[in-house]
Structures are given as C-alpha cells and as structure tokens.
Amino acid sequence: MKIQRRTFLRGAVAGAAGGLLAPRPVHAADADNNPIALVPLGKELTVSRVGFGTGMKAFNRTSNHIKLGRKHFDRLFHYAYDLGIRLFDMADLYGSHEYAARNLAGKPRDSYTLVSKIWWRDGGVPDEDKGDADVLVKRFLRELKTDYIDLVQLHCMTSPKWPKEHRKQMDLLEDLKQKGLIRAHGCSCHALGALEAAAAEPWVDVVHTRINPFGLLMDDKPERVLPAVKNIHAAGKGVIGMKIIGEGNLRDDDRRREQSFQYALNSHAVDAIIIGFEQTWEMNDALARTRRALAVRTLAAG
C-alpha cells in the first residue's frame, strides 16, 4: 500500500507541482495558493514557502542524508530545485555545505536562498573548526563557493539569556551583514525561554522554531510554544518552521501529517517551512499538503 500511495503521489502530485517550476513573488491579494511562491521572511529576505532541510538526524557532520550516499543526496538537491523549492537549510553540524555547493553550481545565485548555522556546543564539529563567527562564516563561504550567505543562525539556542551570552558573536555577525557577506542573522531555538528571548531581541532577523500540533521534538507543549512564535512574528521577524512532521515520525501517518501542515501554515506565525526530505515523493507530498493548507487559509480569510 505504501508503494502504491507513493507511486500515485509521484505521478499525480508531481503533475500538479510541475506547473510551479518558476517561483515568483506573491502578493497579499494573490490567492493561487502556490506552495513554492516566494514570500517575505522577515524584513531582509524572500524565500520559497517550502524549503529543503539537509540535516535529518544530523550530528558530527553526518546525517540520514549523507548516509543515503552522494548520488541519492545529489538527486534530492536537483529534484528540489526543479520543483521550485529554493530554500536550502544547512549547518556546520550537518556537513552539507559541499553538497549544496556542488548541486547549485551554475544556477543563478539570486534564484535560491542559502541558510547555515554556527555550532557552539561541545562536540558536534571538530574543536579546531570552532571559533568566532567572522572566521567561521568565511570558511562557510569557501565551502559553499559563494560570495554571500543569505541567512546565518546561531544554532540550538536554549538559554533565556542567550542574547547576553552570545553578544560577541551577534556583533560579529552584524558586522558581516554590514559588509554584505551575509544578508540576515538570527537563531534556531530549542527551548521555550530561548524563543521568548528571541521575540524581544532587536538583533534577530529570523528564527527557526520547532512546531507541530503534537509536541513532537518541540520546545514545550504546542499551546505554550505557539504564543511565543506569534510574538516573534508580530515583532516583524521571519519565522521558519521545522520539525513539521516530527523529524520523520509522522512520515507514514497521513492524517497527522495533514494536521501538521495545516497547523503550521495556518498558525499566522510561520512564513516558511523546512523538511528533511529523504525521498523525492516526500517533496511532492509536502507541496500538495502545503497547497491544501493555503487553500484553507484563503477560504478562512474569504
């Protein structure tokens, strides 16, 4: 049954998504519910609504994606780009920079958005590869073979005092932004207190937050996380939703997967979502579910 369902999605859904290959800016009055239309992400960026996360169960620069093998991982990159998914989420922790550089080579630089993250905790990356943000970002630029990175995040903030604790790195990232080496900065949050601090911190341009209606791998219960995320969005900051399907835990649960897309995209707080696609059928499935969620939002706004 799974094979039949996935085969159907590759055909029927890919056909529907096939007409969306050229992302375009979307305006408030645009009601076409395009899942890969380009939308604002805070004040600095414009991104495709659906993004490709490259760190599925990642640590020490390996992940499910890398374990799939280079040929398969490369195929995922090309398939995503050809579908119109143009938001690519990476991190030093994931070891995915070289994959992005190789697979996006030759494509117009302004046609996609690169995201990376700085890992500061013990372990995760070799000690000799850790350091201040200015040194790290210059290495990221070399690895990604690009002149600039669209968004650089402080990875895995958990402390409610993180803006004070990481002020030096924040100042360095702001300097890189002023020099044009990055376009925006912010944090990925892994605790409710860190989310609440992000809402109040003027330095933050964009936040990664874990969000789904079931509390899977989230920072707290959904009813506590969502108000914090809404505060971030209300402050004019971009919000990228992650763990939409609970790091793959809902992959084979159609009903709850549908609920998760509806929850995130109709929260009025999430601008874009990233998913760690491991198979091409999952991209088709995500675009179809995003389209349905957006149709509900359009109807509600009616």
Task: Dump pLDDT digits (tens) for 91-143.
Answer: 999 999 999 999 999 999 999 999 999 999 999 999 999 999 999 999 999 99
- Cut 0.85: pTM above it: yes
Rounded to whole angstroms, how far apart are CA atoms 129 and 92? Answer: 9
Residue 173: closest CA among 142, 190, 156, 148: 148
Domain boundaries, the chain: 2-301
DSSP-derived secondary structure letter, 11: I
Under 8 Å between Cβ of 191 and 159: yes
The CATH code of the domain at 2-301 is 3.20.20.100
DSSP-derived secondary structure letter, 182: E
* Residue 33, pLDDT above cutoff 90: no
| Two structure tokens written together for 187 | 């944090």
| Two structure tokens written together for 186 | 């912010």
Average pLDDT over residues 268-283: 97
Under 8 Å between Cβ of 128 and 93: no
Confidence of residue 300 (pLDDT cuts 50, 70, 90): confident
In 103-170 the beta strands, taken as DSSP E runs, fall at 113-118, 149-157
Under 8 Å between Cβ of 186 and 151: yes
Under 8 Å between Cβ of 184 and 206: yes
